[in-house]
Amino acid sequence: MAYLSLAKIRRRKKRDGASYWLLPLLLAGLFIAVLLSLGIGGVSIPPLASAGHFFSYLGFTVSDLQPQEILILEAVRLPRTALGLAIGMALGLSGAVMQSLFRNPLADPGLIGVSSGAALAVVCVIVLGDTLFASFLEATSSYSLPLAAFAGSLATTALVYNLARREGATDVAVMLLMGIAVNAIVGSFIGLLTYIADDSELRSLTFWSMGSLSGAGEATWPSIGIMVLASLLLLRLSGPLNLFLLGETEAKHLGVATEGIKRQAALAAACATGAAVAAAGMIGFIGLIAPHLARLIGGADNRFVLPAAALLGALLIIIADTIARIIVLPAELPIGLVTSFIGGPFFFALLFREFRKRRA
Amino acid sequence: MTLSVNDVSVVIGSTPLLQNVTLGLVPGQFLGILGPNGAGKSTLLKVLSGELSPSHGTVTLDSTPLKAWRDETLARRRAVMPQASQLAFPFSARAVVAMGRWPYERMSSPFQNHRIVERAMAIADIRHLGKRSYPVLSGGEKQRVQLARALAQSFGTEDETDSKYLLLDEPTAGLDIAHQHAVLKAAKDQSKNYGTASMAVLHDLNQAALYCDQVALISNGKLIASGATADVMEPALLSKVFGCTITRQAQQGDSPLSFTSSL
Amino acid sequence: MTYLLKHFFLPLMIFPILLVSGIAHSAPQRIITVGGPVTEIVYALGAGDQIIATDTTSKYPEQQESLPKVGYMRQLSAEGLLALQPDQIIALEGSGPAPVLDTLKNAGIAVTFIPELNSPEAIHNGVLAVAAILGTETIGEILGRTVKEKLEVLQKQAQERENPPLVLFLLSTGQGSPMTAGQGTAIDTIIQYSGARNAAADLQGFKPMASEYILAHAPDYLLLASRTLEQAGGLEELKKDPLLGKLKAVQENRILSLDGTLLLGLGPRTPEAIAAISDQLFTNSH
């Protein structure tokens, strides 16, 4: 046993450890999807032509795109794609992290109030904006909705987190229950404000809750920045989060500073999801599906699952947004509708697969 | 140089779980904790592992309060095998064992980690399960994976000199008889060969007598007796603590102590 | 009746003549209209053939139904709009999202916002603004002023009425509490200008109304969208409705109906609609 050839060890490591080799493949897939998605839409641009156009900036090729095509590419599709990539990454990662933190494959950031908090804040601004928060609206102008959404999600998460604190320690099970209670209360306030809302406010709310990347532009750059930073922090937690899956006590016995990890994970996931909701409204199912897909193709090791969920989340958003953009031209479908349309059946498939495996 | 509890009491609400217990784990010795259900055995293990803070008294490792140790440093000194560990995600058994090497991530080479994981798996007799998904293993197999994980953690690195502590919470529960012996032998070997201070919460008197160097007897949260196995495991005392008639077979030469019990 | 003739029908007869002369001297553009009233105004100014697409809130006139729809006015798609290659986007205030329209402006497409048409004055200005874009200022001035004056006349008439009847508007009948229209809605204005009182005046916007409240208020007239009345199965079926059948207004056939496309906002057709309701309210009883 003490004697194992190096080659054999390498092979074993690959088999038993994380499937890191899949990550470059996913990245390549994402790159191709982005290139294709940049070409598809109301005006179609051949992927090679758009690639050629970008390379022309480096002096390699000469762009043969029309001014209108360049405009669509650079002013419309590029910011959208950037926002989509950041949101997919943020949602996929936050989902994977929450599932590890709660040791539950069905967990998502919504459980600790991220989405409901953002929704309440946005409803407040839309419905009461003119009367109660006029000065806030004036001071923040086009940033008011994103700011409110972001602040709302952070505030609710902090509330849930602190309610679950007992003698300096946070019990994740208690956090889950507090999350349910806080979500219920927040939901009732949203209902109340929805009742007060007038017709056009209602329409705004409805569309906000279905998500859209059409707000992409200068106002969304801060959100993208927050998502990228929070995602980097979340990625760093992959090792300790693996041990979390064994149980909190076990993780602590293995030397993980569990309280710190919980705080960082909750905060970073709230920031990432909050910024995503702020920039594009509610986009469901990505946080659930991306980590599941990652585990399906490469095992449960978080050192693989986290980066893979980020890449797959981004890939799913790019695909969903492309569909949303072209399916009802010249109008566009809210992207949240598309992700739910894909997500619902996918979730069924996952469940049935799980049942079959259990029976076998 | 020990992991010890000094005059420790644990009170939850108004129920005392442990009362004024003083006990130390000695490097190179395998300590068995015996006592009836609800006596406070697992509570004692939780206090020693740092999972539970005592209401009164102190827990120290190398004379330093356990609380003052950083989680990371402490993890390189003591490993815990839990009673039951569920995992909802499809990690391979081998990956779970490899988690035991986490505290040494930065101080031990992948090659060394790999060898240690292999060794721990061989001791726990789970090498054939390596690629199987942990959640679908049987209860006993899961126990052995957890043992291997704790062993991998307590193996440390080659250049360490500090003594290690291995805490096993009912390690034989749910195992077949052969594997029960294998687990206890592993703990004893760990003490004998590497100078580890091992401790296990046990129920079988004969197994305790066979493998443990020392025994602590606990009843109603109080430490009744502790010391060398042969001294503590007096039939009269055991009968009183467990509330049934326990007799000790006459010893022949070097044969281990052997007990029978009846109501 | 001479009053009506002078204020409504004369201007209407002048329109066609002016329309033809008005369009002649402006180059045709590719226009996208966003917001029902804006679409109506462009058609009323005779420039309907320049519209290449409208939004989903545009329901009138029928000709525009064959045009591509660019989605809901607050949820426009930059790409969809750009792909249609418009020269000009005329949008009701509140259309968006703002970044989408900013992108279009940056692309060199003229984007004009028309303030909400919530008063006779606003309609006048709105029509003028649209006409300025179309190069049909002359007709615009006439149409705008006519609509405004007609509304002002109606408003004056309404204020002079003694014992204005109580009118309740219901958006839907059948399951659940029916929706009614309170203050700040176009319905409220239509009811008031036709010389009646809105039974839901103490509510804001569109709200569901409790059944007890409907019975307690006992409106003199029930105002329904024509489609709602059809869905209910006509007047006879409405009389069998457990709630509405108990209303005196229903039992005594005092039901007013209104074209659904008029409910959403004020526009060039609003004076006619108001006059028609006013007619039903006051000619019957005299």
For residue A14, name the pLDDT band (cuts at 50, 70, 90).
very low
d(CA A287, CA B238): 57
Element (H, E) at A165: strand A165-166
Measure in Å the smallest separation between the Cα of A150 and chain B Cα atoms: 31
Q: Is the fold of C2-154 the same as that of C166-282? A: yes
- In what side-by-side order are the strands of the sheet with C51-54? C51-54, C31-34, C88-92, C110-114
Chain C residue numbers touching A212 (CB-CB < 8 A) = 75, 97
Question: Rounded to whole angstroms, what are the CA distances from C72 to A77, A326, A328, C33, C56?
Answer: 20, 16, 12, 12, 5
Identity of the residue in C70, C98, C205 whose CB atom sits nearest the CB atom of A331? C70
Helix ranges, B50-176 (H): 71-75, 93-98, 110-123, 139-155
Q: Give the residue extent of every domain in chain C.
A: 2-154, 166-282
Q: Is the peptide bond before C99 cis (omega within 30 degrees of 0)?
A: no
| Region of B71 on the Ramachandran plot (φ > 0 left; ψ -120 to 50 alpha; else beta) | alpha
Cβ–Cβ gap A16/B76 under 8 Å: no
Q: Is the dihedral angle over the CA atoms A295, A299, A302, A304 positive or is it negative?
A: negative
Report the distance separating Cα A256 and Cα B103, nearest Å: 8
| B135 in A contact zone (CB under 8 Å) | no
Straight-line distance from the first to the last Cα atom of chain A, in angstroms, rounded to the nearest whole number: 33
The residue of B46, B51, B91 whose CB has the most chain A CBs within 10 angstroms, and thus the best one to mutate to test that interface, is B91
Q: Would you tell me which residues 25-54 of chain B have a C-beta closer than 8 angstroms to some C-beta of chain A?
A: 49-51
C-alpha C109/C-alpha C131 separation (Å) is: 18
Confidence check: pLDDT of B195 > 60: yes
Residues 258-287 of A with CB under 8 A from B: 258
Q: Do C103 and A142 touch (CB under 8 A)?
A: no
CB B25 within 8 A of CB B59: no
Superfamily of domain C166-282 in CATH is Nitrogenase molybdenum iron protein domain (3.40.50.1980)
Residue A11 has pLDDT above 70, yes or no: no
pLDDT in tens, chain C (286 residues): 445 545 555 455 445 444 444 444 456 789 999 999 999 999 999 999 999 999 998 988 888 889 999 998 888 888 889 889 999 999 998 888 888 898 889 888 999 999 988 788 888 999 999 999 999 999 999 999 999 999 999 999 998 888 899 999 988 766 667 888 888 888 898 999 999 999 988 888 778 888 778 888 889 999 988 888 888 788 888 888 878 888 888 888 898 888 877 777 788 888 988 998 998 888 755 4
Average pLDDT over residues B207-211: 94
Chain A residues whose beta carbon lies within 8 Å of the beta carbon of residue B105 = 239
pLDDT computed for residue C57 by the predictor: 87
Work out how many CB contacts closer than 8 A connect A with B: 92
Find the DSSP H helices in chain A.
Answer: 6-16, 22-39, 47-56, 67-71, 78-101, 114-128, 134-140, 144-163, 172-196, 199-210, 221-236, 238-244, 248-253, 258-280, 286-298, 302-326, 335-359
Pick the CATH number of C2-154 from 3.90.226.10, 3.30.70.260, 3.40.50.1980, 3.40.50.2300: 3.40.50.1980
Name all chains with 3 or more CB-CB pairs below 8 Å to chain C: A
Please write the tens of the pLDDT for every residue from A188-204: 999 998 888 877 788 77
Mutate to test the interface with B, among A8, A11, A16, A355 (most CBs of B within 10 A): A16
- Residue A60's SS3 state is coil
- Is the pair B, C in contact (3+ CB pairs within 8 Å)? no
Helical packing angle, A199-210 and A335-359, nearest 10°:
40
On whether the CB atoms of residues A337 and A327 are closer than 8 A, the answer is no
**Is chain C in touch with chain A: ≥3 Cβ pairs within 8 A?**
yes
What does DSSP assign to residue B214?
A: E
Which chains have 3+ CB pairs within 8 A of A? Answer: B, C
Residue from B45, B99, B142, B167 to probe the interface with A (highest A Cβ count within 10 Å): B99
For residue C177, CA distances in Å to B235, C115, C209 come to 81, 33, 6
Report the neighbours of B using a cutoff of 3 or more CB pairs below 8 angstroms. Answer: A
Q: Mean pLDDT across the stretch B212-220?
A: 94
Of the candidates A77, A28, A29, A87, the one whose C-alpha atom is nearest the C-alpha of residue A53 is A77
pLDDT tens-digit readout, A82-134: 999 999 999 999 999 999 988 888 888 888 888 899 889 988 888 887 777 77
Could you tell me where the beta strands, DSSP code E, fall in B13-55? 15-25, 30-34
Residues of C in contact with A76 (CB under 8 A): 78-79, 82, 103
Q: With contacts defined as CB-CB under 8 Å, which chain A residues touch B73?
A: 255
